[in-house]
């Protein structure tokens, strides 16, 4: 046994409906601009050739129902409602046809974003990390195993702030579908159990302030909720 000088990081995990054990999080990949209407509201072109990605630290996981302290360094914290899929078997250089077998479960996620810092990164051709890898910014609902979900496509995806609908779309609006994303990502990474993929957000993103209550859902999956707390 190796001795460590400091406490080791806690393993972050996500509850799975019907399972006593939880899904342990290893990596978090996020797809950018996967809905045409969202790319348009961001003022950018969609790349239909291939998806692109950014990442969040596993320690950014926050359980649905939590309060997120308004993060430091921003005055424009945005919500992004997303379908989340998690990997259940190794996938490296898999075909689109084989990719779906690697999906263990689905859930709802919020990709909370320091939009002002993300925009500054874009403007200066710098990485998005300060905008996207925000502590507590990967908000995840309990997972539903893939066999209980059925074909991804017709399900409604929606988000409300204080009960007012802000995002409302269908999963079929995704430019790159779930199997396509896994097949593409598996060209670059040895995907394995523990890998979480946030699949991008529909149009209607916007800011939240302390005291706001976010709710969201996707047909057939556990809903998600987040309260925004006062800044430190």
Q: How far apart are CA 212 and CA 214, in angstroms?
A: 7
Cβ proximity to Mn ion: between 111 and 160 the closer is 111
The residue of the chain with the least Cβ separation from Mn ion equals: 111
* Residue span binding Mn ion (CB under 5 A) among the ranges 9-17, 134-142, 162-170, 197-205: 197-205
Contact window for Mn ion (CB under 5 A) among 9-17, 95-103, 172-180, 194-202: 194-202
Indicate the Cα dihedral angle 56, 172, 108, 206, nearest 10°: 70
Instruction: Give me the residues paired with residue 106 across strands.
Output: 85, 144
What is the CA 156 to chain-centroid distance, rounded? Answer: 16
> If binding is defined by CB under 5 A, does position 201 make contact with Mn ion?
yes
Q: Rounded to the nearest whole angstrom, what is the least distance from the CB of residue 110 to Mn ion in the complex?
A: 9
Task: Choose between 88 and 200: whose C-beta lies nearer to Mn ion.
Answer: 200
The beta strand positions in 42-184, using DSSP E, are 52-56, 61-63, 67-69, 77-79, 81-87, 103-111, 113-114, 138-140, 144-145, 156-161, 164-170
CA 116 to chain centre: 19
If one asks whether residue 195 binds Mn ion (CB under 5 A), the answer comes out as no
Token pair for 143 = 């997972």
111 or 184, CB closer to Mn ion? 111
Decide: is 111 part of the binding site for Mn ion (CB under 5 A).
yes
Specify the stretch interacting with Mn ion by CB under 5 A; choose among 46-54, 62-70, 107-115, 173-181.
107-115
Q: Is 105 helix (H, G, I), strand (E, B) or coil?
A: strand
- Rank residues 111 and 222 by Cβ distance to Mn ion and give the closer one: 111
Footprint on residues 117-176 left by Mn ion (CB under 5 A): none
Query: Which residues contribute to the site for Mn ion (CB under 5 A)?
Result: 80, 111, 201
């Amino acid at each position: 046994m190796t001795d460590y000088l400091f406490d080791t990081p806690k393993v972050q995990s996500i509850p799975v409906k019907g399972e006593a054990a939880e899904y342990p999080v290893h990596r978090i990949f996020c797809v950018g601009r996967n809905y045409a209407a969202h790319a348009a509201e961001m003022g950018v072109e969609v790349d239909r050739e291939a998806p692109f990605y950014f990442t969040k630290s596993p320690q950014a996981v926050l359980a649905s129902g939590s309060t997120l302290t308004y993060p430091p360094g921003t005055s424009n914290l945005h919500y992004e409602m997303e379908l989340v899929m998690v990997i259940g078997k190794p996938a490296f250089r898999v075909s689109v046809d084989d990719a779906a077998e690697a999906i263990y479960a689905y859930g709802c996620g919020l990709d909370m974003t320091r939009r002002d810092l993300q925009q500054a990164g874009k403007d200066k051709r710098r990485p998005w990390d300060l905008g996207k890898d925000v502590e507590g910014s990967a908000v995840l609902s309990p997972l539903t195993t893939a066999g209980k979900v059925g074909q991804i496509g017709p399900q409604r995806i929606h988000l409300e702030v204080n009960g007012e609908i802000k995002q409302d779309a269908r999963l079929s609006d995704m430019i790159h579908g779930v199997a396509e994303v896994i097949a593409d990502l598996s060209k670059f990474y040895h995907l394995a159990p523990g890998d979480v993929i946030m699949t991008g957000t529909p149009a209607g993103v916007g800011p939240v302030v302390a005291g706001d209550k976010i709710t969201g859902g996707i047909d057939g999956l556990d809903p998600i909720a987040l309260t925004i707390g006062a800044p430190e």
